Amino acid sequence: MKQKTIYFKTENNLINSIKKSEDIKILKKPTGLFKLFSKKNYADIYFHTGNLDEDSIEEIKNSKITIANSFSFMNLILKKTNIDHKKVKVIYPSVNMVYEEPKLLKKDFLERFSLPINTKLIFFTANNFKNSGIKEFLDIVSNLSFMDFSVIIAGSKQQLAALDFILTKYHKLENKIIKIDVAKHNVDELYLISDIFLLPTHNKNIASSVIKAMFCECVVFTTMNNDAKEIIDVYATMEQPSDPSTPFKIDAILFDEKEMNSIKKQNREIAIEMSLDKNIEKFNDILLNI
């Protein structure tokens, strides 16, 4: 097969894997004087992420295929560029982690923090706590009727230190919050042991953490404004980060073990289709048809 060129602005698990292939050549953009005097080349496949600016639109119009990470982004690209819909494909962010049996991991975690064996764990993690809805998260979990739960909040040392100032307002959660420094703990394990992953995010771009949580058999709640709404159930979709119905919905799941387990299995089945191996297969199918 003749080498195909790809161009991207941000690396991810999928790109890191496929760029090792002999069939792939990374297209690098010229800089400085080379940019002024050399002929502009466009990639066969352009991985689009971030803002849809003029440079991105130029890449999209001139590449053979553009890969978007959600259907919402695909529709935006089609609207802004008026290109043929066959030229845009969707590959969701990839999950690249080893799935372990959660029961033993959770048992060890509960024992480490002296929690009862029937404790349900509600998880929050993000690179940017504020934009990802930490305040709304705390508002929601502080309004739950279900009592046998603990909250795991994982982030950088700086984020966790700043969180202490906010937590003074949430006396009801005083003995329920476990703060984890991501530099000192395997975050993948936290996804695996958690029952519910709650992300009341203000961000639009699809949250890869949602996919990872689903892969790890969590019940997931996130917002309508985030592109992850495409892969979660309508019941688990929040109208807005401060959706007042969310505590009632989470309570209903926590009080119904059978329903919780059913949703967990459904979520894992969906997310397995976004594993790195599956996404490499999708990319190879696209490659063969160029």
Q: What is the DSSP string of 178-239?
A: EEEETTTS-HHHHHHH-SEEEE-----S--HHHHHHHHTT-EEEEETTSGGGGTS-GGGEES
CA pair distance 57, 195, nearest whole angstrom = 41
The pair of structure tokens assigned to 70 is 């959600």
For residue 66, count CB atoms less than 10 angstroms from its CB and return exposed for 0-12, middle for 13-18, buried for 19 or more: buried
Hey, what's the torsion of the CAs at 93, 99, 103, 109, to 10 degrees? -70
CA pair distance 263, 82, nearest whole angstrom = 38
CA pair distance 264, 287, nearest whole angstrom = 33
CA 220 to chain centre: 11
With beta carbons less than 8 A apart as the criterion, state whether 210 and 193 touch. no
**How does strand 45-47 pair with strand 237-238?**
unpaired
Per-residue pLDDT of the chain (290 residues), as tens digits, is 689 999 998 999 999 999 989 889 999 876 654 454 557 789 999 999 989 999 999 999 999 999 999 999 999 999 999 999 999 999 999 999 999 999 999 999 999 999 999 999 999 999 999 999 999 999 999 999 999 999 999 999 999 999 999 999 999 998 999 999 999 999 999 999 999 999 999 999 999 999 999 999 999 999 999 999 999 999 999 999 999 999 999 999 999 999 999 999 999 999 999 999 999 999 999 999 88
The pair of structure tokens assigned to 290 is 């160029």
Reading across the β-sheet that carries 88-90, which strands appear in turn? Answer: 24-26, 4-8, 45-47, 65-68, 88-90
With beta carbons less than 8 A apart as the criterion, state whether 250 and 123 touch. no
| Distances, alpha carbon 101 to alpha carbons 106, 216, 259, 262, in Å | 9, 9, 20, 17
Is the entire prediction scored with pTM above 0.85?
yes
With beta carbons less than 8 A apart as the criterion, state whether 6 and 14 touch. no
